[in-house]
Each structure stands twice: as C-alpha cells, then as structure tokens.
Structure 1
C-alpha cells in the first residue's frame, strides 16, 4: 500500500497547473515564454496576479492532497513527508513534461502547511526577517524554510521526520541552484 502511495504521490506532482492553466486560459505554452518555467511565478510575471494565484493554489493543493491522503490511510509522519518529497520531485521533474517542471515551492508550502499548520507563522516570520536583507522573495522564502525542521523537531522530537524535512529543503535548494548561482555572482 505504501509503495502505491509513493507512486501516486509522484504522479500527483506531475499535474502541472502552470502548463494546464496557461494552455486553457491563454492558449499559450508557458514553457516557451518568460523564464520557461511552468510555475506560478513565471505565470504571474506573464499573465498577472490571477494566473499566479490560480497556479500557486493548484500546485499547493498537490502537496496538501498528498499529506491528507497519507493521513487518511494513517501512514506515519515520515511516510507523509516522503510522499510530499515525491510530489515535489514530480513537480520539479515531471515525466509528463519531459522532466522540465517548476521549482516546487508552491507544492512544498501546501504540503508542509497541511502537515503542520504551525509552520505558517514560522514561514511568515522567517520571510519578514530575511526579506529586508535579501531583497528577494525567492531567497527570503528559501531562507525561511530553513527554520521549519528546527521548529517541528522541538515540537515532536522526531529525528527521522526532521531529516526528511531537511532533505526536502535541500531538494528545493537544488531546484533553485541556477538562481542561487546567479545571485551569488559578483
């Protein structure tokens, strides 16, 4: 049953709302526009706030759905987080779009909030503290995510879940490697 859950989690991640919404509403292939990324941020730049919100919510729903499904089947927190990691992997490397997907942020946010709503103030506070220094939504958000494993560890004292959370965050950093390299150039 867990293996089926893992496969379905990856396939749920493959539902690319950025591609689908821009194709349906704007009759365009977002992969050929802007940054070429199918995520909410590129769509927002190209088509405005409504497109950003629709795609962000769709992608966030994928992460939340994977967590809620695991809870329904009473899987452990570690299994829930592995399912979330696979949904993010499906979003970043979707077989449906020749392994060229988004960056995984929206899927992570939806999933981690469904996993534990306590992370909402952690993300907001971390972002609020980091943004004035970094002047970048992406980097302030990625930085804020670093606080999540520590806060959740202090709440539950669960090393395995904390290690998986750190692994997920590393995966997000890898997905943003080009952005990070660009930002660090002198």
Structure 2
C-alpha cells in the first residue's frame, strides 16, 4: 500500500467519520443538544432516547453510511480495497473522537456495522444476527454490541476473509471494547440498564 494513499485515506476517512449527524439532526428538529440527553452520546441509541424513532433511524443510517462511503470511495479512487479499509477504520475513529466536539463522539457501533456491510459482507453476516439475537433476549444494547464485536473477527477468518481484513476487524473490535469500557464495567457488576430502563432504576 502506497504511503501517500494511506495518509490521504486516513485523513479523508477521519474527517468524513467525524461528521456528528446525531447532533445535527436533533438540533435541526428543535430538540437541543443531544449531548445533554441520556448518556450524552451523539449516536443513534441516545437519539432514540428523545422519543423520536425517525431521528434515531436517520442517525443510524447516516452514521453507517459515512463509513461505507469512505471505504467504497477511497477503494475506487486508489483501486485498492485495503486503502478503503484504512479509510473505514479512520472513519470509525473520527466518529468516536471528532475534533469538532473535543474528541467526544459516539461509541461506533453503527459506524462499525456500516463498515462491515460495505467492506466485509462475511463479517456483517456474523455481526447482524448475533447482535439481534443477543439484544432480543437481553434487551441490553452494549452486551449485543460487545458480543458481536468479539465474534466478528473470528467469523470473518473462518469464512475466508483476507488476513488484512481480519486484522482490521480485530482492531475495530478492540476499539468497540474501548469505547464501551464503562458499559463493560456495569455489565460485570450487573448494573447495566436494559433498553428503556433508566440507569438509576437498574442500580
């Protein structure tokens, strides 16, 4: 992979991923600053806490699409799938740590899902049913995300993904665990709230 292509893909992916769609959408809808609601996160799960399912869906799709756009766009420009994967990784990082919001962004689940859909359909085939099944039975979004993140690289490897792609999936899954470290602590202590349940009620 050419060094210049890597740098361009990394920077372009980061700035594309750093677009805070959840913040823009909720402000445009007159709901104020989403960072002052619920968990303070700018992602789709927190947008859903406003009671606006339409806005949450829009946030989910846009946060997913920006990673996919980074992957497809840079892969086409440079004619190299691996360059696209690098752009996708940095789109994920940009979403989680946007420079415009003092590096306080989302947790990256929707962005990771969009990345998988466009870059590794084998990984997506593993992640989607696992997330849905775990969330259906537990009603805990973070548990579903962490379970899927754990199994996606393994599934991608078993289904014949390239070594580079599997390495990317490992890095992204590790980042999902990092962005969910507070959730992980609550899961281990049994205080992580279920969907629709307030944290103080769970405690």
TM-score w.r.t. the length of structure 1 is: 0.90
- Structure 2 Cα separation of the partners of residues 73 and 30 of structure 1: 35
How far is the alpha carbon of 1:47 from its aligned partner? Answer: 3.4
How far is the alpha carbon of 1:26 from its aligned partner? Answer: 1.8
Would you identify which runs of 4 or more consecutive aligned residues in structure 1 move more than 6 Å?
none
Identify the match of residue 90 of structure 1 among 83, 91, 94.
Answer: 94
**1:139 alignment partner in structure 2:** 143
Is structure 2 residue 105 aligned with structure 1 residue 106?
A: no
Identify the match of residue 26 of structure 1 among 30, 33, 46.
Answer: 30
CA distance 1:82–1:124, change in 2 (3 Å)? same
CA distance 1:132–1:107, change in 2 (3 Å)? closer
**1:159 alignment partner in structure 2:** 163
Deviates more, 1:112-121 or 1:94-103: 112-121
Give structure 1 stretches of 5+ with no counterpart: none
Contact 1:64 1:114 in 2 (8 A): yes
Give structure 2 stretches of 5+ with no counterpart: 191-203
Contact 1:77 1:161 in 2 (8 A): no
TM-score w.r.t. the length of structure 2 is: 0.83
CA distance 1:28–1:135, change in 2 (3 Å)? closer
Contact 1:81 1:165 in 2 (8 A): no
Deviates more, 1:92-101 or 1:134-143: 134-143
**1:45 alignment partner in structure 2:** 49
> Equivalent residues in 2 for 1:171-182 (5 A)?
171-182=175-186
CA distance 1:52–1:7, change in 2 (3 Å)? same
